[in-house]
Amino acid sequence: MNQMHIHDILKSSEPTFSFEFFPPRSEQAANDLYDVISELGRFNPSLVSVTYGAGGATRELTHDLVIRIKETMHVPPVPHLTCIGHTEAEIDEILVRYAEAGVGNILALRGDPPRDQPDYDRSNDDFKYASELVTFIKKFNESGRHPDPRGFGIGVAGFPEGHPATPNRVKEMEFLREKVDAGADYICTQMFFDNHDFFDYRERCELAGITIPIIAGIMPVTSLKGMNFMAGLAEGAHYPAKLMRALQRVAGDEAAVERVGIHYSSQQCLELIDAGVAGIHFYTLNKSKATMEIYSNLGLSISQS
């Protein structure tokens, strides 16, 4: 059940709801996170995804968390996989392990150079862009080494507000199209706070002939510190005045900041669902409260099992 291919997931539940986690580094934190995942698992998400430290920084941690979810929960785990700094042989080894464990889908990414290596030289890398990783996974799928004859379902990243490294937005769409043509099955977007950016992006994809489902990335602001941290990670993200004004009114009251953030994301999700979004992906930052409250605001129920 939890090795479902993304095509089956998107077919059986629309819109899909998914959660993203990053693998913690200590055993205690891993156990705490597992409790959070189990709690959110009661909401019957369509899938949960686990991030990957670019260059392989969390290679084993990501793998272990993915396998733990796979073996103990009903929800399909989707490992993220970045190709920067990896050789083809290493990627092949990672794919074989996931295939043997019956993991059904992978989010294929390029990743960024390590922050402590700003002069990282990518010229000798086996993979320059995520599109090459998609091609590689597609070839793996065709080799018949996955228990599902379709192989891995493949997701790729999308950037409604544009990726900072490609200021030419026309070119950027061509690069996205390359990734899709290489064999991507769906796009999951970077977080955004203004739905117009998403709607416009969806339309631009359509105009570029990109017709695969686009899952919207939502990150509820739960603290000003968290917001500032994420603004650093997702460079270029636009924080609308409407959101900033609401947060400013309650600055100094941490609980109120969280309530405002949850309310804002709930409104965003309602509008996206009304507009026929293929799925909503929550950047949980490894916490359950905000996502649970948004779920409740959306009228989505907990599984009785």
Ligand X SMILES: Cc1cc2nc3c(=O)[nH]c(=O)nc-3n(C[C@H](O)[C@H](O)[C@H](O)COP(=O)(O)OP(=O)(O)OC[C@H]3O[C@@H](n4cnc5c(N)ncnc54)[C@H](O)[C@@H]3O)c2cc1C
Name the helix (H) or strand (E) containing 262.
Answer: helix 254-274
Tell me the closest approach of the beta carbon of residue 101 to ligand X, in angstroms.
Answer: 18
Place of tokens 């309530």: 259
Residues 6+ apart with CB under 8 A from 90: 56
- In the list 5, 80, 86, 202, the residue contacting ligand X (rule: CB under 6 A) is 80
Nearer CB in complex with ligand X: 82/195: 82
> How far is the CA of 150 from the CAs of 13, 139, 278, in angstroms?
20, 11, 21
Which bin fits 186, alpha (ψ -120 to 50), beta or left (φ > 0)? beta
- In the list 16, 18, 46, 82, the residue contacting ligand X (rule: CB under 6 A) is 82
- Contact indicator for 57, 86 with CB cutoff of 8 Å: no
| Of the candidates 108, 130, 129, the residue with the CA atom closest to the CA atom of residue 188 | 108
What CA–CA distance (Å, rounded) separates 259 from 289?
Answer: 11
Which of 20, 132, 172, 293 is flagged as catalytic?
Answer: 20
Residue 271's Cβ-count burial label (10 Å; 0-12, 13-18, 19+) is middle
Q: Which stretch binds ligand X (CB under 6 A): 49-57, 91-99, 241-249, 270-278?
A: 49-57
Give residues 207-226 in contact with ligand X (rule: CB under 6 A). 217
| Backbone angles phi and psi of 12, in degrees to 5 | -85, -15
Q: Which stretch binds ligand X (CB under 6 A): 39-47, 126-134, 142-150, 271-279?
A: 126-134
Nearer CB in complex with ligand X: 234/302: 234
- Show the DSSP H helices in 124-253 as ranges: 130-142, 169-181, 195-207, 224-233, 241-250
Tell me the closest approach of the beta carbon of residue 248 to ligand X, in angstroms.
Answer: 27
- Which residue type, as a one-letter code, is found at position 273? I
Question: Can 174 be counted among the known catalytic residues?
Answer: no
Tell me the closest approach of the beta carbon of residue 92 to ligand X, in angstroms.
Answer: 19
Give residues 128-167 in contact with ligand X (rule: CB under 6 A). 129-131, 157, 163, 165-166
Tell me the closest approach of the beta carbon of residue 64 to ligand X, in angstroms.
Answer: 15
Site string for ligand X, 174-193 (x = CB under 6 A): -x--xx--------x-x---
Nearer CB in complex with ligand X: 39/178: 178
Q: Which stretch binds ligand X (CB under 6 A): 88-96, 173-181, 261-269, 290-298?
A: 173-181
Nearer CB in complex with ligand X: 111/183: 111
- Which residue type, as a one-letter code, is found at position 189? T
Tell me the closest approach of the beta carbon of residue 154 to ligand X, in angstroms.
Answer: 11
Q: Is 10 in the site for ligand X (CB under 6 A)?
A: no
- Contact indicator for 183, 155 with CB cutoff of 8 Å: no
Nearer CB in complex with ligand X: 22/34: 22
Q: Which stretch binds ligand X (CB under 6 A): 91-99, 117-125, 170-178, 296-304?
A: 170-178
- Contact indicator for 145, 195 with CB cutoff of 8 Å: no
What CA–CA distance (Å, rounded) separates 120 from 113?
Answer: 6
Question: Residue numbers of the site for ligand X (CB under 6 A)?
Answer: 51-52, 54, 80, 82, 109-112, 129-131, 157, 163, 165-166, 172, 175, 178-179, 188, 190, 217
Catalytic residue numbers?
A: 20
